[in-house]
Amino acid sequence: MTTLDLPAAPVAAAPAIEPEPAPEQRVRLGGVTREDVLTLAGAIGGSLALDWMLYERILPFSGALGFLVTWYVLFLAGYVALGRLQWGPQLVRERLVGVLAWSSGLLVVGLIADQIGYVLVRGLHAASHLNFFTESMEHTAALSPITSGGALNAVVGSLEQLGLATLFAVPLGIAAAVFMSEVGGRMARPVRTLVEAMTALPSIVAGLFILGVVIVTLGWEKSGFAASLALTVMMMPIVTRAAEVVIRLVPGTLREASYALGGSQWRTVWNVVLPTARPGLVTAVVLGMARGVGETSPVLLTSGFTSQFNGNPFSEHQVSLPLYIWNYVKQPYPEMVSRAFAAALTLMVVVLVLFVTARVVGGRTPGQLTRRQRRRIARAAAATAVREH
């Protein structure tokens, strides 16, 4: 029996072994590396040592300010030199700009902290006594103890004068900003030029204007109301310029949508433009209040000075915190100087409260409904549901 030679079955080829993919490497954008920290520390230490050697051993220089400025210049030069040893030119420029930005910010924060700390140290002795906020200087002499007298009259005067000035300046400033940005026309350019000129107006000129027009010509007496008019002259251009910039940032599509729905120009401005720009408008108001709350010369010319408490801004002299500080800080009595610094500390607190309030009130995102508007919409929806049932 013959065995047939059958063809051998094909052998399946072994599957090719694919190489394992390399693990992904994450690219880190930004941040601070160990090399950055060591380079910065080396530049700071080396520049400080070189600066000390120049000032103390080689050159006949002296003075803390010159030492610090020279240290900063040497630090930048050393940072660039150390960076060129390990990074490319483009990266060195980027890191140098970052160092300049951070150092400038730290310098500003340091100056502010130094001012606040200095005022706090000088005025804490008087501000720690409750009578400083509950009494006036009516029955206090130059050599009276710190437990006698206070700045109640100045606090009340500042709040009343600033409140009246805000009441006058904000509507006028926002109306002028709306006119320049929404209405326009031939008068827009002269109004804008006048507002820009008033922005750089010295405060004493505003005081002289109110003194000459309101007090001398019209025969009104010096009072807190006259001081508030002078503050209005100072605040109004600040509010106008800031409000105009904010109103111009409102998208034009919102105006077009309002016009498409049949809204008139004034309803578009009132219901669309101003609510959308509200956070920026609050910031503009705060900038104006910050300009007016610390003015001394226009208040001195228009309200006069008194050590008595006067809660009526429309009659007789009324003192404010800046005027209170100016009058007592120049006296040669330590207790009076301490009261002046305590008043300066109070003024800082007032400004801080104003800014925090502005952030809370104006922190709403544009287009977001207020709590009152949400309640009104909910009541309308509930009433509609009741009628349908």
Q: Are residues 122 and 160 in the same domain?
A: no
Written as one string, the DSSP assignment of 225-263 is: HHHHHHHHHHHHHHHHHHHHHHHHTS-HHHHHHHHHTT-
**pTM score, whole prediction:** 0.74
Q: Are residues 272 and 206 in the same domain?
A: yes
Residue with tokens 């929404």: 182
- Is residue 389 one of the residues assigned to a domain? no
- Is residue 172 one of the residues assigned to a domain? yes
Q: Are residues 242 and 320 in the same domain?
A: yes
Buried b (16+ CB within 10 A) or exposed e, 315-337: eebbbbbbbbbbbbbeeeeebbb
Q: 300 with 317: CB under 8 angstroms?
A: no
Q: 327 with 305: CB under 8 angstroms?
A: yes
**Predicted local confidence at residue 106, as pLDDT:** 92
Query: Which residue, 88, 110, 127, sits at the end of a domain?
Result: 127
User: Which two three-digit tokens encode residue 231?
Assistant: 């503050």
Q: Are residues 314 and 174 in the same domain?
A: yes
Give the chain's count of helices (H) and strands (E).
16, 0
Written as one string, the DSSP assignment of 349-369 is: HHHHHHHHHHHHHTTSPTTPP
- Is residue 19 one of the residues assigned to a domain? no
Q: Are residues 243 and 101 in the same domain?
A: no
**Predicted local confidence at residue 170, as pLDDT:** 92
Please give the sequence-ordered ranges of beta strands (E in DSSP) within the chain, or none if there are none: none
Per-residue pLDDT of the chain (389 residues; tens, 9 = 90+): 455 555 555 555 555 555 666 566 554 555 678 888 889 899 999 999 998 988 888 888 788 888 889 999 999 999 999 998 888 888 889 889 999 999 999 999 999 999 999 999 998 888 888 888 888 888 888 888 888 888 899 999 999 999 999 999 999 999 999 998 888 778 888 888 888 888 888 888 989 999 999 999 888 889 999 999 999 999 999 999 989 988 888 888 888 888 888 888 888 888 888 888 888 888 888 888 888 888 888 898 898 888 888 888 888 899 999 999 999 998 888 889 999 999 999 999 888 887 787 677 655 555 555 677 678 878 888 888 888 77
Q: Are residues 115 and 196 in the same domain?
A: no
Q: Are residues 350 and 258 in the same domain?
A: yes
What are the φ and ψ backbone dihedral angles of 85, each rounded to 5 degrees? -75, -15
Q: Are residues 354 and 207 in the same domain?
A: yes
Distance CA 127, CA 105 (A): 30
**Predicted local confidence at residue 290, as pLDDT:** 84
Distance CA 8, CA 326 (A): 113
Distance CA 221, CA 231 (A): 17
CB atoms within 10 A of CB 293: 22
User: Which two three-digit tokens encode residue 323?
Assistant: 């005027």
**Dihedral sign for Cα atoms in the order 212, 217, 222, 226:** negative
First to last CA, the chain: 102
Taking only Cα atoms into account, the Rg of the chain, rounded to an integer number of angstroms, comes to 34
Closest C-alpha among 220, 203, 198 to residue 297: 203
**Predicted local confidence at residue 363, as pLDDT:** 57
Q: Are residues 231 and 93 in the same domain?
A: no
Q: Are residues 108 and 167 in the same domain?
A: no
Q: Count of domains in the chain?
A: 2
Q: 281 with 243: CB under 8 angstroms?
A: yes
- Is residue 375 one of the residues assigned to a domain? no
Q: Are residues 122 and 196 in the same domain?
A: no
Amino acid at 134: T
Domain extent for 98: 34-127
Distance CA 144, CA 142 (A): 6
User: Which two three-digit tokens encode residue 158?
Assistant: 């500042």
Q: Domain holding 351: CATH number?
A: 1.10.3720.10
What are the φ and ψ backbone dihedral angles of 51, each rounded to 5 degrees? -65, -40
Q: 365 with 176: CB under 8 angstroms?
A: no
Q: Are residues 112 and 165 in the same domain?
A: no
Distance CA 112, CA 352 (A): 13
CB atoms within 10 A of CB 206: 24
Distance CA 279, CA 289 (A): 15
- Is residue 23 one of the residues assigned to a domain? no
User: Which two three-digit tokens encode residue 247?
Assistant: 């109103």
